[in-house]
C-alpha cells in the first residue's frame, strides 16, 4: 500500500485564483458586455526581448548539426551564462560573487520551493505576512509548518506582520527562528527595504545563527538609490544569506523559464553533531541529483539579456511596467485611496475603504468598475483589508481603469 505524504492533505486548496476566476465568470454572465480590465495578473504581458529570441533561434539552429549539438549541460548552468551573471549582476555593482556560487535553474519558484531540501524538518521558519504563497506551502509539504489552524495560519511558522502601521517593514522575530524568507521588492505589497533596514536583518541573522532566504525576483524594478538590488550589497550577507533571482519579471521569461540562485561558499549550516557544513556543497549535491540543468537554448536567451542590445530592450520592458505602476499610483491617490508600493515594483497595494474587507473591496471594484484585482487576504492574514493592483497590463487598460476609479 502506497501511503501518501500526509502533509499534502493538510494544505488548504489554493482557493485564491479559482475564487477570483469564479467571481469574474459570474459577473460576466450577469453582464455579458462588461468591459472587464484585469489588474490581478502576476504575469508579464510584453513579449521577450528581441535579443533573447534571436539568441534562441541561433541556439536552436546549433542543435541541428552534430558539430554544434549540445546534450546534457552542467547541472549548475553553462559557464557562459554564469560568467555573464557574475559580471553584470554582481561584479559591475561592486559585489564579489564567484561563478561557482551561481546555480542556474528553470526559475525562482522551483528554487525557493526546493531550497527546503537542504534544511532539517525541525527548523523554525519565519515568513513575512502577507507573502508569496510558495514559501508557506513548500514548508507545509515538507512537514516544517506544523498544522494549519482555523484562520489558515500554521502552528510552526512564525508570521512577521507587514502592514500600514509598521510601514511594511517587518519587526525582527521575538522568538527563536532558524530560517527567514524575505522578498524585496515585495510581492504582493510592492514595498521595499532600504539598505539600512536590510542591514538590520543581516546583523540579526549573524547574531542569531539565522539563514535568510532572500527572493530578489523584482530587483530590476528598483528605481530608488537606497534600495539594495542584492542582499550581498550588505556587508557580511555572504555569511547568512541565499539569494534567488529570476529572468521572469525582469525580461519576460515567465513562459521561457530561467532563474538562478546564489549560495556563497562561506555560508554554513550546522549538522546534528555541531559541525559546520557548506550549504553551497549541499545545494550542488541536491541540484546534481534532482536537476539536469536548464535547456541550452533558454540559457542562451538569458545570456542575451546581458548584451548591450539585450540590456536596452530589458530596460524598455521595465520602463513600460514602471510607467503603468506610476499611472496606478497617481490614479488611486487622486481617487482618494491609501496606497503603498509601486515605486520599485510592478505592484501597488491599496487599502480598502474603512470597514471593507479584501473580498468586499474586490467585489466592489469588479461589479462597479469592472476591474479585477487580487484580494490581499489571499496572501496571508495581514493582507486582509488590502487589494493588489498589478502594472503588468497594457497602458490603455491601465489608464482606462484609473479613469473609472477617479469618477
Ligand atoms: C514571479 C515570482 C518569482 C519568479 O518565479 P519564476 O519561477 O522565476 O517565474 C519568484 N518570487 C516571487 C515572489 C515572484 O512573484
Predicted pLDDT of residue 350: 98
Predicted pLDDT of residue 277: 98
Output the CA 112–ligand 1 centroid distance in Å. Answer: 9
- How far apart, in whole angstroms, are the C-alpha atoms of residue 297 and residue 142? 33
**For the CA atoms of 78, 183, 282, 203, what is the dihedral angle to 10 degrees?**
120
CB burial class (10 A; 0-12, 13-18, 19+) of residue 185? buried
- Ligand 1: residues with CB < 6 A are 42, 107-109, 132, 183, 187, 215, 217, 246, 248-249, 254, 259
Please state the atom number of ligand 1 nearest to the C-alpha of residue 258: 8
Predicted pLDDT of residue 237: 98
CB atoms within 10 A of CB 81: 28
**For the CA atoms of 121, 123, 127, 133, what is the dihedral angle to 10 degrees?**
-10
Predicted pLDDT of residue 348: 98
Length of the chain: 407
What residue ranges define each of the domains in the chain, with the CATH number in brackets? 7-47+310-406 (3.90.1150.10), 79-304 (3.40.640.10)
Q: In which element (H, E) is residue 348 found?
A: strand 347-351
CB burial class (10 A; 0-12, 13-18, 19+) of residue 28? middle
Residue from 23, 130, 35, 51 nearest 397 by CA: 35
373-389 residue pLDDT tens: 999 999 999 999 999 99
Question: What residue ranges of the chain have pLDDT lower than 70?
Answer: none
215-251 residue pLDDT tens: 999 999 999 999 999 999 999 999 999 999 999 999 9
Please state the atom number of ligand 1 nearest to the C-alpha of residue 132: 13
Return the bridge partners of 212, or none.
180, 241
pTM tops 0.85, yes or no: yes
- How far apart, in whole angstroms, are the C-alpha atoms of residue 108 and residue 5? 24
Residue 197 grid coordinates: 533596514
Give the single-character DSSP code of 126.
E
Crossing angle of helices 308-334 and 395-406, rounded to 10° = 10
Cβ atoms of residues 176 and 206 within 8 Å: no
Amino acid at each position: 500500500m502506497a501511503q501518501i505524504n500526509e502533509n499534502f492533505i493538510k494544505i488548504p486548496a489554493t482557493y485564491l485564483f479559482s475564487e477570483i476566476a469564479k467571481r469574474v465568470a459570474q459577473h460576466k454572465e450577469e453582464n455579458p458586455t462588461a468591459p472587464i480590465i484585469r489588474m490581478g495578473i502576476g504575469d508579464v504581458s510584453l513579449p521577450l526581448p528581441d535579443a533573447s529570441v534571436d539568441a534562441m533561434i541561433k541556439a536552436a539552429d546549433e542543435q541541428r548539426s552534430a558539430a554544434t549539438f549540445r546534450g546534457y549541460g552542467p547541472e549548475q548552468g553553462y559557464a557562459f551564462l554564469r560568467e555573464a551573471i557574475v559580471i553584470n549582476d554582481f561584479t559591475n555593482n561592486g559585489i564579489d560573487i564567484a561563478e561557482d556560487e551561481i546555480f542556474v535553474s528553470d526559475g525562482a519558484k522551483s528554487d525557493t520551493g526546493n531550497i527546503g531540501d537542504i534544511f532539517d524538518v525541525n527548523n523554525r521558519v519565519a515568513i513575512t505576512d502577507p507573502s508569496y504563497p510558495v514559501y508557506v506551502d513548500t514548508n507545509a509539504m515538507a512537514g516544517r509548518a506544523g498544522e494549519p489552524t482555523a484562520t489558515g495560519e500554521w502552528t510552526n511558522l512564525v508570521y512577521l506582520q507587514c502592514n500600514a502601521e509598521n510601514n511594511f517593514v517587518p519587526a525582527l522575530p521575538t522568538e527563536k527562528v532558524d530560517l527567514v524568507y524575505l522578498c524585496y521588492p515585495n510581492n504582493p505589497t510592492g514595498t521595499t527595504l532600504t539598505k539600512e533596514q536590510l542591514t538590520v536583518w543581516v546583523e540579526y541573522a549573524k547574531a542569531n545563527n539565522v539563514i535568510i532566504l532572500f527572493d530578489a525576483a523584482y530587483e530590476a524594478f528598483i528605481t530608488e538609490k537606497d534600495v539594495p538590488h542584492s542582499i550581498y550589497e550588505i556587508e557580511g550577507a555572504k555569511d547568512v544569506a541565499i539569494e534567488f533571482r529570476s529572468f521572469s519579471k525582469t525580461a519576460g521569461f515567465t513562459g521561457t523559464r530561467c532563474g538562478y540562485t546564489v549560495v556563497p561558499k562561506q555560508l554554513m549550516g550546522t549538522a546534528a553533531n555541531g559541525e559546520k557544513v557548506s550549504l553551497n556543497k549541499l545545494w550542488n549535491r541536491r541540484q546534481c541529483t534532482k536537476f539536469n540543468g536548464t535547456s541550452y537554448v533558454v540559457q542562451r536567451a538569458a545570456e542575451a539579456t546581458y548584451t548591450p542590445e539585450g540590456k536596452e530592450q530589458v530596460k524598455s520592458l521595465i520602463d513600460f511596467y514602471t510607467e503603468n505602476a506610476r499611472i496606478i499610483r497617481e490614479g488611486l491617490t487622486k481617487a482618494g485611496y491609501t496606497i503603498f508600493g509601486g515605486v520599485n515594483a510592478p505592484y501597488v497595494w491599496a487599502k480598502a475603504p474603512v470597514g471593507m474587507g479584501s473580498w468586499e473591496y474586490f467585489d466592489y471594484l469588479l461589479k462597479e468598475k469592472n476591474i479585477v484585482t487580487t484580494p490581499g487576504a489571499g496572501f496571508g492574514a495581514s493582507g486582509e483589508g488590502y487589494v493588489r493592483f498589478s502594472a503588468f497590463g497594457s497602458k490603455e487598460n491601465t489608464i482606462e481603469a484609473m479613469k473609472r476609479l477617479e469618477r
